[in-house]
Amino acid sequence: MQNMINLQPTNANNLNIINYPFTRLEDRQIVQFFSIDSLKKSFLEAFSSRRLITSGYIFFIYMLITLIGCNSACATDYPIFPIRIISPAPPGGGTDLVLRTFSDKLSQKWGKSVQIENRPGGDAIIASSAVAKAKPDGYTLLGTFDSHASNPAFKDSLPYDTINDFIPVTMLASVNMIIMVHPSLQVKTIQDLIAYSKQKPGLLTFSSIGVGSTQYMIGELFNMQTGAGMRHIAYKDRSQMTLDALAGRVSVIISNIGAMLPYIKSGALHPLAVTSSLRSSAVPDVPTVNESGISSFKFQAWVGLFAPARTPKDIIEKLHLEAKRISLLPDVRKQIEDSGAEVNLSASPEEFDLMVRGDIDRFTKIFKK
């Protein structure tokens, strides 16, 4: 008979299921609707009679084994299915490079596909919303950036709860941001930029991909601390924003170093300062904003990994442990540093959780109107 399976007599603690792979996502999703006790009872009744079981009934057997196994050694067997990391970053950018560097190493170690699924747009909300609604089994993760923590400060409502619908796994990298100008502006330092803003009030502009983005927050923080009064110009398209920067149609450009490094080296854009507390190895001669005379100015962008709320703790810990192992590999560190970022792993999921909560509080206090 088609789609039938025969159970051979065996010890109930060592179940032997033959010729059914159970790799479909929908098979796994059904598991959550059944209790362990009811599945045990149904399975043992069928097993004692040694009867043939139809393909519909073997869902019960699989559910029983999955639930029992996950209770006893969920992380030991994890992963047994492909993993997808949903990201709001577009392909080819700095965040995407960091995520793919780690996902490739995870695939090699586990022998399972770990794929990056890019879902850009919506101020990172589209990707976050998809993961918030995903099954908390470790097979759907969120690879995102600091906008995840800033969105609560800029959005009146979100389709998810940033704190309660996610479990922070780890920060993967800190992304160095840099403030630049077009050479035609004839500004060489941060202090020159501030002086220009006082001499010609209202003329300076800065670009970003939207309110709440990393560039926007840096630009507005700079305005708050210096009184520069730069006007914000929002772009929907990153490529158009870059073209306008190179053409001199925007006064001040704020971006991650990796994306702008070719233009800095060619002289198409002039770097003024990096926003982190330390200089970047990618542009060691460029001072920090702090060194340039703006005390206490610091903005560190980041890339991090999250799981849906209620994902088993042992899976969270296994993901963090593997990320830590990968972060120590020399080729990984070089690849990420060459992009203008720095490998920067959280000491624990709990540490990353505290950092994210701190960022949410800080951004809300600064920007919430």
Show Cβ contacts of residue 126 under 8 Å, excluding neighbours closer than 6 positions: 88, 119, 120
CATH number at 83-173+301-367: 3.40.190.150
Listing DSSP states for 233-274 in one string gives EE-S-HHHHHHHHHTTSSSEEEEEHHHHHHHHHHTSSEEEEE
**Location of each CATH 3.40.190.10 domain in the chain:** 177-274
**Beta carbons within 10 angstroms of residue 361's beta carbon:** 13
Instruction: Find out whether 87 and 118 touch, Cβ atoms under 8 Å.
Output: yes
> What CA–CA distances, in Å, run from 48 to 51, 55, 162, 322, 350?
8, 18, 49, 42, 47
The per-residue pLDDT for 74 is 57
pLDDT of residue 329 exceeding 80: yes
**Location of each CATH 3.40.190.150 domain in the chain:** 83-173+301-367
The per-residue pLDDT for 65 is 53
pTM (2 d.p.): 0.76
Q: Could you tell me the pLDDT band of residue 64, with boundaries at 50, 70 and 90?
A: low
User: Which one of 112-116, 155-159, 340-344 scores highest in mean pLDDT?
Assistant: 112-116
Mean pLDDT of 258-266: 91
**Nearest by Cα to 5 from 65, 48, 68, 59:** 59
Q: Could you tell me the pLDDT band of residue 312, with boundaries at 50, 70 and 90?
A: very high
CA dist 276 and 355 (Å) reads 16
Residue indicated by tokens 């794929």: 115
Peptide bond into 168 cis (omega under 30): no
pLDDT, tens digit, 9 for 90 and up, residues 171-194: 999 988 999 999 999 999 999 999
For residue 74, the SS3 value is: helix
CATH H-level, domain 177-274: superfamily:
Periplasmic binding protein-like II (3.40.190.10)
Q: Which residue has the higher pLDDT, 1 or 249?
A: 249
pLDDT of residue 43 exceeding 90: no
pLDDT of residue 298 exceeding 50: yes
Q: Which residue has the higher pLDDT, 43 or 254?
A: 254
The per-residue pLDDT for 194 is 97
